[in-house]
Amino acid sequence: MRKICCALCTGALLLVFLSTTSAGADAIQIQIAPEQAGHVIHPNLYGQFAEHVGACIYDGLWVGPDSGIPNDDGLRLDTLEALRALELPVVRWPGGCFADTYHWRDGVGPRAERPHRMTTWGELESNAFGTDEFLRFCKLIGAQPYLCVNVGSGTPEEARDWVEYCNGTLDTPNVNLRKANGHDAPYGVRYWGIGNENWGCGGSMRPEFYADEFRRFATFVHQAAGPEAEIFACGSYITRGAWDERFLATMEDAKHLVDYLAVHYYANQSVPSADFPDETYHKLLAGNVGELEACLERTVNLLKTHRQGKHEIKIALDEWGAWFSDATLEKGFRQQNTMQDALFAAACFHVFHRFGEQLLMSNMAQTANVLQALVLTEGAQFHVTPTYHVYEMFKPHRGGQYIPVALEGTTEIQAPAGVSRPGQSVSASLSAGGGALFVSMLNLEIAQAATVALNVPGAWKPVRMRRLATGDLRSHNTYAAPDRVTPEELPLPDAAALASFSLPPQSITTVLFEK
């Protein structure tokens, strides 16, 4: 079944992206008008989240300086190199549910003297990887740190002291402690979260109680962090928006303390991550993506009604991703990462781009070995995942201006519950300097190729074309075959080619244009 997704007024457009597929009336028309470029796609939409649970930190990021695994003073080199190549803009730490039982002083100073603690997850935490190690990790991969303070079992004083340890410059005990630990210069941490999931694992609080706690914590964090700091309030699991409404109503005239409302969303599946029926794919790509989109729309509208003067609260989706049945606590929330995950991530990023005026950050869970991870490790073994490649392929979108795209003639995919969604998705952006145009195209059909025509003004010429596709939703990389799922470079079309081309089923295709 074909349909028109949206309408776009077009001027004189010339078809410049051509290939050898025969043209015809059934080609899906993609109309892109760079002159309509609007809001900026914030780079922080491509953030990450690393929590002390399972093997995310220990083995995934940290092996210790005495490990036989190649490392940079304890940080494993293969992970560092892979993440550095992604140029991740921001990483959230230390949690997650871990955050509201974490006391930062346990993780600074000589490692041999740091106490061991039991975590929220019932695991033993050595505290070998603490504040200084995390901030060094961020520096080495080029990311901004986003720290989540302990509200559930902590105090405003503890939170303020942590901020002062990280950012302080005066002659105080906390600043002198940082210097004694070998870090004379302040870290200048900008992003501070006030608790995590305080409606659940962070204290089972009512939104009204949390709002009062937030006022106290945010006031003192702001005082210590400086005027450039941005403060994140704990929002809802985004499908349960009543928490957000009650929290914002209770904040009344203190909404100026809230820079971001941090919400979470997981696409929970009742099947294993690499052994699933096709119905799961349809549920994920039609049902879950559509649900997330609707929830973001609702949250945007809610924040508009609670706008206070010129102060506008933004959205951070600081935990999200696919969660399969094999990712249990007993297994450290580890799951496989397949081509299905890559398509889900890409489809979500297309949604995020559209909401980019209000949604300024997202942090997929999690960076290594947990849930929808970018890298998987086991001892000295290492490989990147299909989701990793989406982050890499979509890098040109970051910081670009969002361009509305008109799609005409798309197919439909349908979730088991009857929810439908276009079978093709396209996102386009114009680079900050205006010299590059980037287009990402998804064919979400399982078995049906899509014939498309990409229409852009004639001054733009394709300079790079890439594709991630295997023909198998369940395909994934392994330690023995780390490149089974990897992007391929495609030949550039020439002006003599036909006016349509084919997107394989289950595929992600990107094209970079320059004038």
* Residues paired with 266 in a beta bridge: 321
Alpha helices in 377-483 (DSSP H): 386-393
Q: Can you say how many angstroms the Cα of residue 440 is from the centroid of all Cα atoms in its chain?
A: 17
Contact 449, 502 (CB under 8 A): yes
Report CA-CA distances (Å) from 162 to 106, 213, 229, 343, 361: 11, 17, 14, 39, 23
Distances (CA, A) of 349 to 3, 41, 470, 513: 22, 10, 20, 20
Catalytic residue from among 197, 213, 230, 293: 197
Contact call for residues 151 and 203 (beta carbons, < 8 A): yes
For 151-186, the three-class secondary structure string (H helix, E strand, C coil) is: CCCCCHHHHHHHHHHHHCCCCCHHHHHHHHCCCCCC
Which residues lie across from 468 on neighbouring strands?
A: 508
- Is residue 364 exposed (0-12), middle (13-18) or buried (19+ Cβ within 10 Å)? buried
Indicate the DSSP class of residue 391.
Answer: H
Query: Rg for the chain (alpha carbons), in Å?
Result: 23
Contacts of 156 (CB under 8 A, 6+ apart): 216, 217, 219, 220, 221
Q: Which of 51, 230, 319, 392 is catalytic?
A: 319
Is 319 designated active site? yes
CB 101 within 8 A of CB 120: yes
Q: Is 357 a catalytic residue?
A: no
Name the residues annotated as catalytic. Answer: 197, 319
